[in-house]
A and B are shown apart, each in its own frame.
Chain A
């Protein structure tokens, strides 16, 4: 059982008050956050006010919604009316959104209480959470290691037991890779499942919001509130949301076919990671699933394709940060052109600039067909390949990342190495598929290893069931647990 149901029971039986819980979470963040730097802002007034209202409703005999009293950390790229939203960037430092994103609005409507902002790589670009204007996030398992990224703060906040749930966003692995590095559950839904309205765009055709939790059950519960059609997002899919959390526990995975791409179990994967995934596959077999290896030739092409499409969209999506209407402006500039140029020079960090330049280049006239045009074709081939694979398999399983969390600073000056960290997660975004990362062991140094399970389009429920079965069989021990707060 996840922690959410325990909290819910405690609140319903009045053993625990919402306000009491919220205050203790805020206290805990104040005491422990400096060790990990997962939170960069706390919504104290908002959170206490919401909690009080829920206590009052409960006292008046109201039926509490599923998320009542549950504190949630929100990645710094989802807008909340009146709160700062900065994407961990200098260019947006001090910016408050005048509206609330659909995803956050929906979880608030379900009673969940946003308690603060979690750290991230600037504009969600990065795989280590070292590209943040607020400084790097430390891995709760070993403070000298990175948390992974870009949703490093969201992963670390859960892994450190500061909150039971957080929201992150995943464009090329930004939920799954830090979940893997921090030993927690992370889920990237099917593209179009969760509204992107109010999510500050990184790469619009790839971005998707999803949850972090220590237990599959908890991820399933909040996912029910996150998903759903949004008329404010043209890429939102109009289909009903299944009750993911109901009947989560299945007796066996008998009949489920799991495919494993040879390329993601090759020499490029760290030995400890490979070994752990092999064990995980055995565990799936013992749960009744069948395992089959296949060749997935597109891994390298998918990575290259991603680094054309995502930067192309970045170069356009980040054009609105020009210092004209909001965010920081260089007021010392002497002309309009100089103002826009220097504002962006001073406002964006190196990794963001690198991607804007890449994207500007691949869209330039004369280069479009060779890069962006071709990348779109490869992307279609990737989707088609997956569609065929899911005729043979129910899930595709691999390590979430080729390594466990690396030392801070190790890859900071080697972007190519950093980009390779997402080699197993990126193809999934290109195809828009749902995928999860959940812990499956520790390496020889004691750092967590994540197992990635990819499902067919809109098969979140099946994914959650498989991950839940694995979780019960594995009994992975978190380093820090949120239960301590209860």
Chain B
């Protein structure tokens, strides 16, 4: 019998804010345990939540980017359960009335659209650290770190329209790309800023009703979602084929073994006793506020891809880099406005290549002004400086303190393209290296590179490479 998998994903994305959802504690990652806390995030007696309005703006942005209906009235509710990482004994989430309904994500490469059920806002829980065991069971001691507790999240719930692991991965990647590109989420998978739960079931092909589903928790990489979904589909099919039944349960995925295992079954499922949080009034978002956010929305990745490909003729690789690295995209957008001679494509080559590499290498900030960078690229396009010189000058401009002219002067001046001036240097170099000249005459034109290097050395890199090469080759041939 052939089976069809049915998959729905719940993505938890951390909203990119300085402070938590309901208090002023910092969201900074990696602090010592329990440093980013206030009476509110510790759940102290008497503490009350106050909504961080920046989270609402970001949630609306996410909703608009994913084509949802933004709700003018949404309600925070309490999800009640006991766990030591949950300081109040309930999580503040949205239940009956979420901030966004509907929405869709288009997977162009797969020719498929995945619809969304909803997006709701909620706070994250803390983190437990165990001693003597991996989990709380068997641990000799456990400590609760509440730095994460109260960090703002949105949960994006898809319709069960995903049919295989590839689609699941593509969907997760697409949502990740959109949210990180528009700045709603920093997208850092390793820090848990973006993670996914998968609801998976299988049914015989042609059957309308869904099969019994399992929920695989905390898939925090694109690779693990693909592996987990594949594993769970196969597991379910083999259980059914061997006459067994799927039990509705929550599963854990082990990255090391690539297998899923049961965490708890439906019988042990919580009754969360959701009810509207009486400490918070319903969240009212006015139409004008939604329009305000819409008017300030940056372009979405699909729009950028289209524009960069059609208008600027940028290679796919360049586009990919921009969509991954917002900072480079912003820099490109700002700099290209100032170009006079060079094309955006010329400039992009430098950003995606040399500049990107430099920034990764130095882990530094980009303080260079876009006008300075545009001037540099223009000067190269006009032949004022060589590409070699651009490479040499670029690192010196990163701190934003020097101008292109200063940097060029520091190198001794602009590119030397004057034939007479270069001829003199070439002649000297040829004279000093008769053996190399001989080689070139014998057809080893590659040896010209050595001579070019010598010329560059003499001119401190300022000689125009094409002209030098021409001069060397013609000198050797004429002798």
Contacts and interface: CB of A to CB of B under 8 A. Distances in A.
A322 B44 contact: no
A234 B45 CA distance: 16
B281 A235 contact: yes
A198 B46 contact: yes
Interface string B132-167: 000010000010100000000000000000000000
11 contacts: A77-B46, A87-B45, A97-B44, A233-B48, A234-B281, A319-B80, A319-B89, A321-B89, A325-B43, A363-B274, A363-B275
Interface string B79-92: 01010100111100
Interface in A178-208: 196-201, 203-205
A interface residue count range (under 10 / 10 to 19 / 20 to 34 / 35 or more): 35 or more
Contacts of A85: 45-46
B266 to A, nearest CB: 13
B271 A199 contact: no
A363 B273 contact: yes
A325 B279 contact: no
A254 to B, nearest CB: 39
B426 to A, nearest CB: 75
Contact of A325 (B48, B80, B144): B144
A326 interface: yes
A85 B44 CA distance: 11
Nearest to B85: A324
Q: What are the 3 A-B residue pairs with the smallest beta carbon separation, nearest first?
A: A319-B89, A205-B278, A363-B273
A312 B48 contact: no
B44 A365 contact: no
A102 to B, nearest CB: 9
A322 B45 CA distance: 12
Interface in B278-331: 278-281
Contacts of B144: 324-325
A307 interface: no
B46 A319 contact: no
Contact of A336 (B90, B136, B279): B136
Nearest to A85: B45
Interface of B: 39, 42-51, 78, 80, 82, 84, 87-90, 136, 142, 144, 271, 273-275, 278-281
Interface in A313-329: 313, 315-316, 318-322, 324-326
A234 B51 contact: yes
Interface string A219-232: 00000000000011
Contact of A92 (B43, B45, B49): B45
Q: What's the dominant secondary structure at chain A's contact region?
A: loop
B474 to A, nearest CB: 79
A24 B386 CA distance: 90
Contact of B273 (A203, A234, A316): A316
B80 A234 contact: no
Given A79-B46, A197-B46, A320 B89 contact: yes
Contacts of B87: 320, 324-325
B173 to A, nearest CB: 35
A95 interface: yes
Q: What's the dominant secondary structure at chain B's contact region?
A: loop
Nearest to B50: A234
A200 B48 CA distance: 10
A340 interface: yes
Interface string A351-366: 0000000001001110
B45 A95 contact: yes
B46 A234 contact: no
Contacts of B51: 234
A453 B39 CA distance: 37
Interface string A372-411: 1000000000000000000000000000000000000000
A326 B44 contact: yes
A134 interface: no
A61 interface: no
Contact of B278 (A78, A97, A204, A318): A204
A313 B89 contact: no
A205 B84 CA distance: 26
B46 A200 contact: yes
B88 to A, nearest CB: 5
Interface in A289-344: 312-313, 315-316, 318-322, 324-326, 336, 340
A370 B236 CA distance: 38
Contacts of A255: none
Contact of A319 (B84, B88, B278): B88
A98 B44 contact: yes
B88 A97 contact: no
A79 B48 CA distance: 13
Contact of A204 (B80, B89, B142, B279): B279
A419 interface: no
Contacts of B49: 234
B253 to A, nearest CB: 23
Contacts of B89: 316, 318-322
A43 interface: no
A425 interface: no
A97 B46 contact: yes
B275 A99 contact: no
Contacts of A340: 82
Given A98-B39, A234-B279, A196 B271 contact: no
- Residue from B50, B136, B144, B274 having most chain A Cβ neighbours under 10 A: B50
B87 to A, nearest CB: 6
A476 interface: no
Interface in A212-269: 231-235
Given A316-B89, A368-B275, 9 more contacts: A201-B279, A231-B50, A234-B279, A320-B88, A325-B43, A326-B44, A326-B45, A336-B142, A360-B273
Interface in A427-463: none
Contacts of B278: 203-205, 235, 313
Given A234-B48, A324-B144, A364-B271, A316 B90 contact: yes
Contact of A316 (B78, B271, B281): B78
- Residue from B51, B78, B136, B273 having most chain A Cβ neighbours under 10 A: B273
A318 B78 CA distance: 13
A363 B277 CA distance: 13
A28 B457 CA distance: 96
Nearest to B270: A365
A198 B39 CA distance: 9
Interface in A84-98: 85, 87, 92, 95, 97-98
Nearest to A319: B89
Nearest to A373: B275
